[in-house]
Structure 1
Amino acid sequence: MSGARKAAPGRIRIIGGSLRNSRLEVPDLPGLRPTADRVRETLFNWLAPMIDGARCLDLCAGTGALGIEALSRGAASVQFVERDPRAAQALRDNLARLKATNGEVVALDAAQFLRGVPRAQDLVFLDPPFALELWPALTRQLEQGGWLAAQAWIYVESPRTTVPALPPNWQLYRDGHAGEVRFALYRRALPLS
């Protein structure tokens, strides 16, 4: 869930890849703010050399636009985690309509999901509802719970004036701003023992 502003219910489009120009149905739900097109375009330009074949986790998925964009551009698989059952069902419907069989939707709270059995991911999209300030807890669970590959990439979206406290071994690769949103891509380094 994120973006510079609350989008009107309706549709958003996939920017690139095999599903380019496909439209995603967006339900009218409080706080559901899809990541803006220009932010997704910038992010996936940054990720172009590493997205093909990546195992991805779209945590707090909302519309799933980030994960579906990753599938469109060659990611091997995406797990979408979304706590709102209506948003999760809309995401399942969009994946089915697009015939994106390598996407799996889990209707569960992100923190609860991360207490489950981990699967190391190459790329994680972390875009929690801003008002809940979940970054410290979720990033700790990702780092300590076995969810990240040795040199995983982590995308973090937050309010423009907020740089969330993140694990010290997450190194900033690139960042930017769009409207009231800060978006940043980090690379995980192995923690010092």
Structure 2
Amino acid sequence: MRIIGGIAGGRLIKVPKGLGVRPTPDLVRQAIFNSLGDRVNGATVLELFGGSGALSLECLSRGARSAVCIEKSGRHAAFIKDNLRQSGLPAAPLQVRVQDAFAAIAQLAADGRRFDLIMADPPYGEKNLGRRSESFAQRTLDDPHLPALLAGGGLLVLGHARRDTVTLPPGWEERKALKHGDSVFRMLQRATATDPETA
């Protein structure tokens, strides 16, 4: 794996071995960031289910102002920090938090944090025909604290398996869906453009 574009483009990314990490493939990341375009430049970013930190590093390489990367495993978080060092990117803009993603969502919301871009490519769920998905992707969308983390006009990029029929809860609207192999990446915004702080 490597960083695709930006000032650190071409730098390799180490991925922890084992079944606990399923990194977002290079071709998929390239499609995502081609679609995002200039939105990344100057953005504040939150990455959930960090794994190797590839999405955070890609954002920083492409000019994001800062990134918070949430990864539950301390071992995997060490890989993210090592990947940052190897990338040549400055360390200060990236905060790696060893924390459960859902605990982090609640805590960041309570702290009043807001992000221009939230990226989540969690472990994939199983086929759920005829029943509501119980996958990490569905749980992320269903989290009541998540919408508060998006700044006005912010975007959620959520990955899940094609076999996982994820239901869009009220309050979200889909801007675009990118499909690659077994993966779907959905670009979502809050259904209202009104900022809750100014409503």
On whether the aligned pair clears a TM of 0.5, the verdict is yes
Q: Which residues of 2 match residues 62-77 of structure 1 at below 5 A? A: 62-77=51-66
Q: Which residues of 2 match residues 55-134 of structure 1 at below 5 A? A: 55-98=44-87, 99-101=89-91, 102-118=93-109, 119-131=113-125, 133-134=135-136
Flag structure 1 segments of 5+ consecutive residues without an equivalent. 1-11
Q: Which residues of 2 match residues 1-193 of structure 1 at below 5 A? A: 12-98=1-87, 99-101=89-91, 102-118=93-109, 119-131=113-125, 133-141=135-143, 143=145, 146-190=148-192
SS of residue in 1 equivalent to 2:14: strand
CA distance in 1, matches of 2:144, 2:82: 28
- Mark the CA change 1:30 to 1:144 in structure 2 (over 3 Å): closer, same or farther: closer
Count of matched residue pairs: 182
**Structure 1 counterpart of 2:129:** none
Instruction: Report the TM-score when normalising by structure 1.
Output: 0.86
**Structure 2 counterpart of 1:6:** none
Instruction: Report the TM-score when normalising by structure 2.
Output: 0.83
Q: Is the 8 A contact 2:140 2:146 kept in 1?
A: no
CA distance in 1, matches of 2:142, 2:150: 11
CA distance in 1, matches of 2:103, 2:119: 17
Question: Cα deviation per residue 1:123-144 (whole Å; 9 max; x = unaligned)?
Answer: 0012111147123332233655
Question: Cα deviation per residue 1:145-172 (whole Å; 9 max; x = unaligned)?
Answer: 6211122101011111324223323221
Residue 103 of structure 2 aligns with an amino acid whose one-letter code is Q
Residue 191 of structure 1 deviates from its aligned partner by 7.6
Residue 70 of structure 1 deviates from its aligned partner by 0.7
Bigger Rg, which one:
2
SS of residue in 1 equivalent to 2:118: strand
For the aligned residue pairs, the C-alpha RMSD in angstroms reads: 2.0
Flag structure 2 segments of 5+ consecutive residues without an equivalent. 126-133
CA distance in 2, matches of 1:177, 1:117: 30
**Structure 2 counterpart of 1:3:** none
